[in-house]
Chain A
């Protein structure tokens, strides 16, 4: 599986995709912004480009001919995307810390980049993974439908949760107001977010493996 992941990083994915976490992450420096957008760029730009590239390069046929199993093919691909997602979050988090330090007195209308917010972001990636991968692995090369549905779900999640965060003072306080200084609370939300991300991604991966085993490679 390690070799399959390295294959994706060396020839499957274009180098700019690996720079995207930095480029998108730097947008965290905009004070008081709608920070979900920073991570949404991964869905808007990187995902469709990567999967289009896999399709164009006949990656599926190429990989099938290597000494690998179908199960490992799915696991490796999900892992590669998950690594990129974590990379996006971690780099954005670092820029987020810088933002909090640079503009301590900015008034945040949207969620401020505290740990709780990143927990919500992990959940967002989990939602994408559980929806996108199982739909993609019905054919293992088509990605349009799965991508669109997963993207809509992610944007609805972001929209609703941010709307609640603005409308509901309790939620606002937890993520941006007084609760932001509560380390235990913030860390708990982050850990829950990471756990949800892992569980949803694993479920998505397992469903994908089952589906991919039935796929005819053409």
Chain B
């Protein structure tokens, strides 16, 4: 079943636009939503949550149109925005007491289980929580109202490696039963190497590719070679860097001719992002 379907989102700003953004997230999987700062990740997420007035496009959650069934579908969605604080001077207890009233399927027992599991103290104020704790608190809330889709905007940004690793383990645990799906945006690609099943890559408001992680990585090759070899593939490359030994660059696997004898390796997600970012500077 498709948990989240984003179809042809278009949103114009003066200096930026989302163009025909489309992707699908299957139920029970983790999708990493990657892109450089300002690529359109948060704008896309806000569009999914009906926060933006779009020029065109549709969002379907569990097969239902978000615009038409906003109230009902929000019962099934849990959110975490990594870098925004709300009512930070309120105690967790107070905030939870207000929040839980909005959800039909709120389960007090589940809530306290997760609060224990995540070692969260209800008497603390939101401002006293570390960034990782805030994400965990958001997760506890989402899971207590039975959210089936978790939409997390940069949940791991600003976390130390230990907290990040712990959070990624939690994400993986959550999707194990196949009920919950997670879409999480990040520019820290190493997080996704570890836990994502699918990758959607956005650049300058356009989706470059959205597919299974293995397919995603396999569709690009990182080439290393000398300057003569560069001249043979230059035109087809996404971008490249010249160094004292020759060049390193990224190419679509379909454009790469193995008979040229150029040394090719599988790129990391980070390398794919970096070389796509260089594409522009080459074209200038």
Whether, in the assembled complex, B56 has its beta carbon less than 8 Å from a beta carbon of chain A, the answer is no
A56–B51 Cα gap in the complex (Å)? 19
- B85 engages A58 (CB within 8 Å): yes
**0 or 1 for each of A199-218: is its CB under 8 Å from B? (1 = yes):** 00000000000000111111
In A1-53, which residues have CB < 8 Å from any B CB?
3, 6-7, 10-11
In B98-129, which residues have CB < 8 Å from any A CB?
98-99, 101-103
Closest A residue by C-beta to B99: A66
Whether, in the assembled complex, B84 has its beta carbon less than 8 Å from a beta carbon of chain A, the answer is yes
- B86 engages A62 (CB within 8 Å): yes
A127: min CB distance to chain B, Å: 29
- B51 engages A62 (CB within 8 Å): no
Contacts of B99 in A (CB 8 A): 66
A3-B102, A215-B53, A216-B53 known; A66 and B74 CB under 8 Å? yes
Contacts of A6 in B (CB 8 A): 98, 101
Whether, in the assembled complex, B46 has its beta carbon less than 8 Å from a beta carbon of chain A, the answer is yes
Whether, in the assembled complex, A173 has its beta carbon less than 8 Å from a beta carbon of chain B, the answer is no
**0 or 1 for each of B62-86: is its CB under 8 Å from A? (1 = yes):** 0000000011001100010100111
A59–B103 Cα gap in the complex (Å)? 18
A10–B89 Cα gap in the complex (Å)? 13
- B84 engages A58 (CB within 8 Å): yes
Contacts of A70 in B (CB 8 A): 50, 70
Whether, in the assembled complex, B245 has its beta carbon less than 8 Å from a beta carbon of chain A, the answer is no
Number of interface residues of B (CB under 8 A): 27
Whether, in the assembled complex, A57 has its beta carbon less than 8 Å from a beta carbon of chain B, the answer is yes
- A66 engages B86 (CB within 8 Å): no
A70–B52 Cα gap in the complex (Å)? 11
A11-B87, A58-B84, A58-B86 known; A216 and B52 CB under 8 Å? yes
Whether, in the assembled complex, A152 has its beta carbon less than 8 Å from a beta carbon of chain B, the answer is no
Whether, in the assembled complex, B190 has its beta carbon less than 8 Å from a beta carbon of chain A, the answer is no
Contacts of A64 in B (CB 8 A): 49-51
A6–B74 Cα gap in the complex (Å)? 19
Contacts of A218 in B (CB 8 A): 46
- B49 engages A62 (CB within 8 Å): no
Contacts of B98 in A (CB 8 A): 6-7, 10-11
Contacts of A161 in B (CB 8 A): none
A11-B90, A67-B75, A68-B74 known; A61 and B81 CB under 8 Å? yes
Whether, in the assembled complex, B237 has its beta carbon less than 8 Å from a beta carbon of chain A, the answer is no
Whether, in the assembled complex, B263 has its beta carbon less than 8 Å from a beta carbon of chain A, the answer is no
- B46 engages A67 (CB within 8 Å): no
Closest A residue by C-beta to B47: A216
- A61 engages B84 (CB within 8 Å): yes
- A57 engages B86 (CB within 8 Å): yes
A66-B74, A216-B53 known; A3 and B101 CB under 8 Å? yes
A213–B79 Cα gap in the complex (Å)? 21
- B46 engages A217 (CB within 8 Å): yes
Whether, in the assembled complex, A169 has its beta carbon less than 8 Å from a beta carbon of chain B, the answer is no
- B86 engages A61 (CB within 8 Å): yes
- B81 engages A57 (CB within 8 Å): no
Whether, in the assembled complex, A184 has its beta carbon less than 8 Å from a beta carbon of chain B, the answer is no
Closest B residue by C-beta to A7: B98
B64: min CB distance to chain A, Å: 14
A-B contact pairs, 25 of them (CB 8 A): A3-B102, A7-B101, A10-B97, A11-B90, A11-B94, A57-B86, A57-B87, A57-B88, A57-B89, A58-B84, A59-B87, A61-B81, A61-B84, A64-B49, A65-B81, A66-B99, A66-B102, A67-B74, A67-B102, A68-B71, A70-B50, A213-B53, A214-B53, A216-B51, A217-B51
Q: A61-B84, A65-B74 are in contact. List 15 more A-B contacts (CB 8 A).
A: A3-B101, A11-B95, A57-B88, A59-B87, A61-B81, A62-B86, A65-B49, A65-B79, A67-B71, A68-B102, A69-B71, A215-B53, A216-B52, A217-B51, A217-B52
In the A-B complex, the 8 residue pairs with the smallest Cβ-Cβ separation, listed nearest first, are: A62-B86, A67-B74, A217-B51, A3-B101, A216-B52, A66-B102, A65-B79, A58-B86
